[in-house]
């Protein structure tokens, strides 16, 4: 099925109401709020690279409150074990059976705080659930439910005692972005008590309706020329001189899904090259591995994606639907 104009209009209206509601608690960060909501409606996850105190926890709670979903927070530390995330089975002496105790990953919005402070073994506990929405414990597979969004954070400045996220895990995050500090006007409003406590936010939509929104986003039409454009962008990252490892097929699929959701949030039934451009840096940059020489020269993945967007010409006309 293809998204109808009436459905696209409803999607855009509801998306705007969700963003407005979340922004009551996270002032001055409309663009980031929309990025995270786009990822959630595309079955994706988000990595936030930020210094402490920029509102990451408030963002996760505000989104959960807006969609009437459950919210958990996992503080990643060096002694955290995989079972502390997924849950464990415990033997009950009274019944003589093993009983499953679910972990904090069984929630709609999971905040994985300072994810790079846990060991790679513990980080790997998130690989299956982020990709497939389920966890396997003692041979039994359990779904975590929908909607499901992992918001992971890491401090880009403090690297002492941390473990670098492996490429396989970075690739499972649909987007990487940063809240950053609020601007002057937003800071003054925050100091004056202008932000709303997340507990006081009024829900906008139910989890079931949010799943319906995600289904509508998946029906947004993507022209063959736009798909070709995405493929050419991905190919260009692999052949760039500064890049040792380019964007994977998972990255190309993520950009396509996110572009569908963004188009629907703009009340359109089809994806345009501008949708792809608007999301390319957030979706693709963290998937690049640069040559050490390029890193030493100060080249960043964001700069490489920006240059690729300049070098690869977008399509100029749309085929008939």
Task: Summarize pLDDT for 165-210 with one digit per residue, the tens.
Answer: 888 889 999 999 998 888 898 889 888 887 777 768 899 999 999 9
Mean pLDDT, range 115-136, rounded to an integer: 91
Token pair 């188009």 is found at 263
Mean pLDDT, range 72-82, rounded to an integer: 93
Contact status, residue 98 vs residue 138, Cβ threshold 8 Å: yes
Mean pLDDT, range 274-303, rounded to an integer: 95
On whether residue 210 sits in a domain, the answer given is: no
- Neighbouring C-beta atoms of residue 149, cutoff 10 Å: 27
| pLDDT on residue 320 | 38
Q: What domain range includes position 31?
A: 1-204
The 3-state DSSP class for residue 97 equals strand
On whether residue 319 sits in a domain, the answer given is: no
| pLDDT on residue 260 | 98
Task: Of 188, 178, 105, 185, give the one whose Cα is nearest residue 148.
Answer: 105
The 3-state DSSP class for residue 183 equals coil
Out of 172, 204, 236, a domain closes at 204
Task: Record the tokens describing residue 23, joined without a space.
Answer: 């922004």
On whether residue 213 sits in a domain, the answer given is: no
On whether residue 26 sits in a domain, the answer given is: yes
Stated pTM of the model: 0.92
- Neighbouring C-beta atoms of residue 253, cutoff 10 Å: 14
Task: Record the tokens describing residue 156, joined without a space.
Answer: 């880009």
- Enumerate residues 6+ apart whose C-beta is below 8 A from 296: none
**What percentage of the chain has pLDDT greater than the value 90?**
74
Which CATH number belongs to the domain containing residue 21 in this structure?
Answer: 3.40.50.300
Token pair 């929309």 is found at 34
Mean pLDDT, range 127-152, rounded to an integer: 92
Looking at the structure, tell me whether residues 137 and 3 fall in a common domain.
yes
Looking at the structure, tell me whether residues 198 and 227 fall in a common domain.
no
Looking at the structure, tell me whether residues 184 and 275 fall in a common domain.
no
Range among 51-65, 114-128, 259-273 rated most confident: 259-273
Looking at the structure, tell me whether residues 176 and 101 fall in a common domain.
yes
Looking at the structure, tell me whether residues 229 and 182 fall in a common domain.
no
- Rounded Cα distance between 181 and 29, Å, is 9
Looking at the structure, tell me whether residues 175 and 26 fall in a common domain.
yes
Burial 122-148 (b: 16+ CB within 10 A, else e): bbebbeebbeeeebebeeeebebeebb
Which CATH number belongs to the domain containing residue 245 in this structure?
Answer: 1.10.8.80
On whether residue 211 sits in a domain, the answer given is: no
DSSP assignment letter at 125: G
- Rounded Cα distance between 171 and 126, Å, is 12
Tens digit of each residue's pLDDT (9 = 90 or more) over 254-276? 999 999 999 999 999 999 999 99
Let me know the angle formed at the C-alpha of 281 by 279 and 247, rounded to the nearest 5 degrees. Answer: 105
Query: pLDDT-derived band of residue 54, with 50, 70 and 90 as boundaries?
Result: confident
| pLDDT on residue 168 | 84
Mean pLDDT, range 211-236, rounded to an integer: 96
Contact status, residue 46 vs residue 152, Cβ threshold 8 Å: yes
Looking at the structure, tell me whether residues 185 and 259 fall in a common domain.
no
The 3-state DSSP class for residue 265 equals helix
Tell me whether strands 134-137 and 289-290 are parallel, antiparallel or unpaired: unpaired
Task: Record the tokens describing residue 106, joined without a space.
Answer: 């069984």
On whether residue 320 sits in a domain, the answer given is: no
Contact status, residue 265 vs residue 233, Cβ threshold 8 Å: no
Q: Is the peptide bond before 165 cis (omega within 30 degrees of 0)?
A: no
Task: Indicate the number of domains in the chain.
Answer: 2
DSSP assignment letter at 278: H
Contact status, residue 156 vs residue 115, Cβ threshold 8 Å: no
């Amino acid at each position: 099925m293809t998204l109808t104009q009436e459905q696209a209009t409803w999607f855009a209206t509801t998306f705007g109401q969700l963003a407005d509601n979340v922004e009551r608690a996270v002032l001055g960060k409309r663009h980031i709020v929309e990025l995270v909501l786009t990822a959630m409606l595309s079955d994706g996850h988000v990595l936030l690279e930020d210094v402490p105190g920029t509102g990451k926890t408030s963002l996760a709670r505000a989104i959960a409150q807006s969609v009437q979903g459950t919210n958990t927070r996992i503080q990643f530390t060096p002694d955290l074990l995989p079972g502390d995330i997924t849950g464990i089975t415990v033997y009950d002496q009274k019944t003589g059976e093993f009983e499953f105790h679910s972990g904090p990953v069984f929630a709609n919005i999971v905040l994985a705080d300072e994810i790079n402070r846990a060991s790679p073994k513990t980080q790997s506990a998130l690989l299956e659930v982020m990709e497939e929405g389920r966890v396997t414990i003692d041979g039994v597979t359990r779904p975590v439910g929908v909607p499901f969004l992992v918001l992971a954070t890491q401090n880009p400045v403090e690297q002492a005692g941390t473990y670098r996220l492996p490429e396989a895990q970075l690739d499972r995050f649909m987007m990487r972005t940063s809240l950053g500090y609020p601007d002057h006007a937003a800071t003054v409003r925050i100091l004056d008590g202008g932000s709303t406590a997340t507990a006081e936010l009024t829900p906008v939509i139910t989890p079931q309706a949010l799943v319906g929104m995600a289904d509508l986003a998946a029906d947004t039409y993507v022209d063959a020329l736009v798909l070709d454009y995405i493929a050419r962008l991905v190919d260009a990252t692999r052949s760039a001189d500064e890049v040792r490892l380019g964007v994977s097929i998972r990255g190309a699929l993520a950009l396509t899904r996110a572009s569908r959701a963004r188009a629907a949030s703009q009340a359109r039934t089809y994806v345009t090259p501008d949708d792809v451009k608007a999301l390319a840096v957030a979706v693709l940059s963290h998937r690049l591995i640069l040559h050490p020489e390029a890193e030493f020269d100060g080249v960043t993945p964001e700069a490489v994606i920006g240059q690729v967007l300049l070098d690869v010409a977008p399509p100029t006309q749309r085929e008939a639907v």
